[in-house]
Chain A
Amino acid sequence: MAVVVILALVAVASVLFHLLSPWWWTPIASNWQYIDNTIIITFWITGFVFVAVVLFVAYCVLRFRHRPGTRADYEPENRKLEFWLATVTTIGVVAMLAPGLFVWDRFVTVPDDATEVEVVGQQWLWSYRLPGANGKLGTSETRDVTAENPLGVNKNDPAGLDDIIIQGGELHLPIGKPVKMLLRSIDVLHDFYVPEFRAKMDMVPGMVTYFWITPTRTGTFEVLCAELCGVGHPQMRGTVIVDNEADYQTWLEQQQTFTQMMASGETPTAN
């Protein structure tokens, strides 16, 4: 009996825990509401299956536990039952997979009007580069990284001279505009992770990876690193501030371009 009660309790308590848990995702601040919705669908389907299976087991133990004189049934298989169970499972799987793939398609298709912002990870610091007046980011190369040029921006590429460099400071983003985050690392793997944005992607040295978001809520958000990058991994924090357009422009004007930075000969400190 104890076994039955405890098994049933496991199922019921798990559901109650889910419903009453104070540990739930952070309030979303980007357009990826779709992802949250897909998770909710998945929770419903999987939660149902979990409770059904565990309660069924509990019922079996209650009903068919050993009593003297009883004998088990002899039933090698039941094709019909197996067929139906497999079919229902397939439907459940499709119900999760289809919205998942649909949203993934959106996730990997960057809108044409997205502005580019580059995030550069290094042990254990976030830096950013925004396109300057020409709206284009210059090329860059890890080989060009020096103390004066910490992001390795190509000095010979005219497109890069007016790029805005934020070395170790805060990143501001305008609300309501799609941004393509170009992710680059100059040493090891990192992962640009803002919990409220939902999106994240590894940064791989030697490659430029990306994801895109549209910020939907102003506020200050914490950047964490989500890919183990050495002992300083937990200390690799940064800040992203989503501004309204006016505040964003004010902030943007205060930033230093690559040319100015090279001229001043020292890296700007966090503002």
Chain B
Amino acid sequence: MVNIPSSINDPIPPAEVEDVELYHPHSWWTTYVFSQDAKVIAIQYSLTAIAIGLVALVLSWLMRLQLGFPGVFTFIDADRYYQFITMHGMIMVIYLLTALFLGGFGNYLIPLMLGARDMVFPYANMLSYWIYLLAVLVLVAGFFAPGGPTGAGWTLYPPQAVLSGTPGGQDWGIILMLSSLILFIIGFTMGGLNYVVTVLQGRARGMTLMRMPLTIWGIFTATVMALLAFPALFVASVMMLFDRVLGTSFFMPAIAEMGAQLQYGGGSPILFQHLFWFFGHPEVYIVALPAFGIVSDLISVHARKNIFGYRMMVWAIVVIGALSFVVWAHHMYVSGMNPNFGFFFATTTLIIAVPTAIKVYNWVLTLWRGDIHLTIPMLFALGFIVTFVNGGLTGLFLGNVVVDVPLSDTMFVVAHFHMVMGVAPIMVIFGAIYHWYPKITGRMLDETMGRVHFWVTFLGAYLIFFPMHYLGLLGAPRRYHEIGESVVNPPSAHDLNVFITVMALIVGAAQILFLFNAAWSLRRGKDAGGNPWRATTLEWQTPTTPPPHGNFGKELPVVYRWAYDYSVPGAPEDFIPQNEPDPEHRSREHAT
């Protein structure tokens, strides 16, 4: 298939590539609202995700207030508490993290980093955003519907999710939630097709897969996974909607609710859990892999050193992506499924630890003998390493079937997943925003505000979730509106809860500083120039900043090297852009 040339001095072929036909907008509406430009869509996705994320942030404040000061805020009754945790969880996992990483960063970075004019199917890309927006609106409508949003927990386990003992179960809440998920998945599929096919077909000349930045590898693999995993959630949602609205019994066994026999029979709640986690576990990596990719690039750029073990990093991403489809039942060790599955799923789960650990080693080995600039993106990357290693290691507790038994459904689980797929990816998101904001707007974010924002967020979040593990170790169950007097809630645990609540309020408030910074710097930030970080990847080599529709001016770039030529011995600068040909046409047989 591939013919390696006999001589590396072969001339570069002419720069005539078939160009994409762009849709040229004519009016303000088609330029900024119904735009087919991936960059505009990316910003639309990001702003919507951040807006709905702020709602989820406020919800987390409310639930923390209840946990820290039970009984003080009487408007947070049990119904509302469960509605808050459900909406908080669902928004954060799907409508914020998935949408922001794939819809936001994916849309912005894939065409730019690959040297493409735009996504390959711009119209579907635009539809993707509008359907996502509709999904968000349907979700939010839950707050205004009679009975409020669903309070079934973000896992929506039946039968309780559709029964009257759960807020929204017999009202509109659960129906709106399921409809919103179905819409989200339809919208995501349209976007996801774009991300995958653009990586396959849209790359600039010379951009082989092994020359792609790890950011693209992460987003690409995550998108492939999402395309295959989201159908499971789709199927589960459709079936539960049938159960709730049309009276079928897919997930509903015979039930005597409060002494009354219901019209259901024979269904299997475990079936839902299998479908849900068949989506739910890959979902963790759908969020994690883009974060892995982006953080690799942040570390490399700001340590002025090539990412250590690039090939291993690529293989690890692919292997993690594949393995994540055969570990789903580690969320179900105590679900009542056949206990013999535990052996299989514990083994596959712990195997994933190996490629994941390799990634961590390679990040820290990139720092070794680097030229570390402690810029804000680098600080966030360091924050990511600490929180991700912490959260990843506690995953070894929960994945190891028998250790999971006492810890499952306790605050340990809550602390673990917040650390590993809450705090750690959000560190990357912030790092990435500080890193690419100059490209998006042409201005730098304010440095001082950025530092304050980083330290409060990083240390505050660590102080929230690290001690929380110990509440779980003590045995405090999760999803309790109020534990009250119990052996698992001694006075000291109550004090700890107060502390966690105070930290949560502070960390939440620090995000206002970030929003202010983002708005303020838009006009007053320092002028960034085209390539403020002196980075090699193509998005920094655009002729104008911010890049216009079509990205690269008249001619598309041609790629001559991988994305990590930092501090190359003998080179005049400590970085060589990907589109710069090698003047001497010689390969560097350097290092090992």
Binding site for B on A (CB under 8 A): 3, 6-7, 10, 14, 17-18, 21-26, 32, 34-35, 38-39, 42, 45-46, 49-50, 53-54, 56-57, 60-61, 64-66, 70-82, 85-86, 89-90, 93, 96-97, 100-101, 103-105, 107-108, 122-123, 141-143, 145-147, 150, 152, 183, 186-189, 191, 193, 195-196, 198-207, 209, 221-222, 224-234, 237
Give the residues in chain A near B462, CB-CB below 8 Å. Answer: 10
Interface contact A187-B409, CB-CB below 8 Å: no
Q: Mark B392-436, 1 if CB is under 8 A from A, else 0.
A: 011011001111011111100000000000000000000000000
Interface contact B336-A123, CB-CB below 8 Å: no
A74-B484 contact, Cβ under 8 Å, with A39-B397, A206-B253: no
Give the most central of A25, A71, A237: most B CB within 10 Å: A71
What size tier do the contact residues of chain B reach?
A: 35 or more
A33 to B159, CA, bound (A): 34
Give the residues in chain B near A206, CB-CB below 8 Å. Answer: 253-254, 266-269
Cross-interface CB contact of A230 among B160, B335, B496, cutoff 8 Å: B160
Interface residues of B in 486-506 (CB under 8 A from A): 486-488, 492-493, 496
Give the residues in chain A near B484, CB-CB below 8 Å. Answer: 234
A17 to B499, CA, bound (A): 15
Interface contact B336-A201, CB-CB below 8 Å: yes
A26 to B393, CA, bound (A): 23
Q: Shortest distance in angstroms between A270's beta carbon and chain B's nearest beta carbon?
A: 18
Give the residues in chain A near B312, CB-CB below 8 Å. Answer: 77, 82
Q: Mark B345-388, 1 if CB is under 8 A from A, else 0.
A: 01100110110011011101101111111100001001001100
Q: Mark B249-292, 1 if CB is under 8 A from A, else 0.
A: 00001111111010001111110000000000000000000000
A38 to B346, CA, bound (A): 14
Question: Which residue of B is nearest A58, CB measured?
Answer: B382
Give the residues in chain A near B488, CB-CB below 8 Å. Answer: 26, 195, 222, 224
Give the residues in chain A near B311, CB-CB below 8 Å. Answer: 77
A256 to B188, CA, bound (A): 58
Q: Shortest distance in angstroms between B438's beta carbon and chain A's nearest beta carbon?
A: 19
Cross-interface CB contact of B351 among A93, A103, A224, cutoff 8 Å: A93
Interface contact B406-A66, CB-CB below 8 Å: no
Interface contact A188-B379, CB-CB below 8 Å: no
A228-B152 contact, Cβ under 8 Å, with A23-B496, A101-B343, A188-B165: yes
Question: Which residue of A is nearest B269, CB measured?
Answer: A204
Give the residues in chain A near B153, CB-CB below 8 Å. Answer: 228
Interface contact A49-B592, CB-CB below 8 Å: no
Cross-interface CB contact of A100 among B305, B374, B403, cutoff 8 Å: B403
Q: 24 A–B contact pairs at CB < 8 A?
A: A22-B492, A34-B402, A38-B400, A42-B403, A45-B396, A53-B360, A53-B389, A70-B371, A72-B304, A73-B370, A74-B569, A74-B590, A75-B306, A76-B591, A77-B312, A96-B350, A104-B402, A189-B160, A195-B406, A195-B488, A204-B335, A205-B253, A207-B270, A230-B166
Interface contact A75-B151, CB-CB below 8 Å: no
Q: Which of B136-144, B192-200, B471-479, B509-517 contacts A (4 or more CB under 8 A)?
A: B471-479
Question: Which residue of B is nearest A230, CB measured?
Answer: B165
Give the residues in chain B near A86, CB-CB below 8 Å. Answer: 354, 357-358
Interface contact A145-B259, CB-CB below 8 Å: yes
Give the most central of A14, A64, A199: most B CB within 10 Å: A64
Question: Which residue of B is nearest A38, CB measured?
Answer: B403
Interface contact A74-B591, CB-CB below 8 Å: yes
Binding site for A on B (CB under 8 A): 78-79, 82, 151-153, 157, 159-160, 163, 165-167, 169, 253-259, 261, 265-270, 303-306, 308-312, 334-336, 339-340, 342-343, 346-347, 350-351, 353-354, 357-358, 360-362, 364-365, 367-374, 379, 382, 385-386, 389-390, 393-394, 396-397, 400-403, 405-410, 455, 459, 462, 466-467, 470-471, 473-475, 477, 479-484, 486-488, 492-493, 496, 564, 566-569, 574, 590-592
Give the residues in chain A near B354, CB-CB below 8 Å. Answer: 86, 89-90, 93
Interface contact A57-B409, CB-CB below 8 Å: no
Question: Which residue of B is nearest A188, CB measured?
Answer: B160
Q: Shortest distance in angstroms between A33's beta carbon and chain B's nearest beta carbon?
A: 12
Cross-interface CB contact of B163 among A22, A85, A188, A227, cutoff 8 Å: A188
Interface contact A26-B568, CB-CB below 8 Å: no
Give the residues in chain B near A100, CB-CB below 8 Å. Answer: 346, 400-403
A228 to B350, CA, bound (A): 27
Interface contact A142-B254, CB-CB below 8 Å: yes
A73-B567 contact, Cβ under 8 Å, with A10-B462, A57-B382, A89-B358: yes
Give the residues in chain B near A193, CB-CB below 8 Å. Answer: 409, 477
List 7 additional contacts besides A82-B312, A187-B255; criterion CB under 8 Å.
Answer: A10-B386, A85-B361, A142-B254, A189-B157, A205-B159, A221-B487, A229-B160
Interface contact B405-A96, CB-CB below 8 Å: no
Interface contact A78-B592, CB-CB below 8 Å: yes
A224-B486 contact, Cβ under 8 Å, with A97-B400, A100-B402, A207-B270: yes
A78 to B574, CA, bound (A): 21
Question: Which residue of A is nearest B357, CB measured?
Answer: A89
Closest 5 CB pairs of A and B: A206-B253, A230-B165, A195-B475, A145-B256, A209-B336
Give the residues in chain B near A152, CB-CB below 8 Å. Answer: 256
Interface contact B480-A234, CB-CB below 8 Å: yes
Give the residues in chain A near B368, CB-CB below 8 Å. Answer: 60, 64, 73
A182 to B357, CA, bound (A): 40
Give the residues in chain A near B335, CB-CB below 8 Å. Answer: 202, 204
Q: Shortest distance in angstroms between B249's beta carbon and chain A's nearest beta carbon?
A: 10
A179 to B410, CA, bound (A): 24
A225 to B305, CA, bound (A): 52
Give the residues in chain B near A54, CB-CB below 8 Å. Answer: 385-386, 389
A206 to B353, CA, bound (A): 36
A229 to B319, CA, bound (A): 37
Give the residues in chain A near B481, CB-CB below 8 Å. Answer: 231, 233-234
Interface contact B474-A25, CB-CB below 8 Å: yes
A108-B339 contact, Cβ under 8 Å, with A60-B368, A206-B267: yes
Interface contact A188-B487, CB-CB below 8 Å: no
Interface contact A64-B372, CB-CB below 8 Å: yes
Interface contact A107-B405, CB-CB below 8 Å: yes
Q: Shortest distance in angstroms between B319's beta carbon and chain A's nearest beta carbon?
A: 12
Q: Shortest distance in angstroms between B381's beta carbon and chain A's nearest beta carbon?
A: 10
A49 to B357, CA, bound (A): 10
Question: Which residue of A is nearest B162, CB measured?
Answer: A188
Interface contact B396-A96, CB-CB below 8 Å: yes
A188 to B592, CA, bound (A): 60
Interface contact A142-B389, CB-CB below 8 Å: no
A76 to B564, CA, bound (A): 9
A45 to B165, CA, bound (A): 43
Interface contact A77-B310, CB-CB below 8 Å: yes
Give the residues in chain A near B304, CB-CB below 8 Å. Answer: 66, 71-72
Question: Which residue of B is nearest A90, CB measured?
Answer: B354
Interface contact B255-A227, CB-CB below 8 Å: no
Q: Shortest distance in angstroms between A187's beta carbon and chain B's nearest beta carbon?
A: 5
Interface contact B165-A232, CB-CB below 8 Å: yes
Cross-interface CB contact of A53 among B253, B254, B364, B408, cutoff 8 Å: B364
Q: Shortest distance in angstroms between A210's beta carbon and chain B's nearest beta carbon?
A: 9
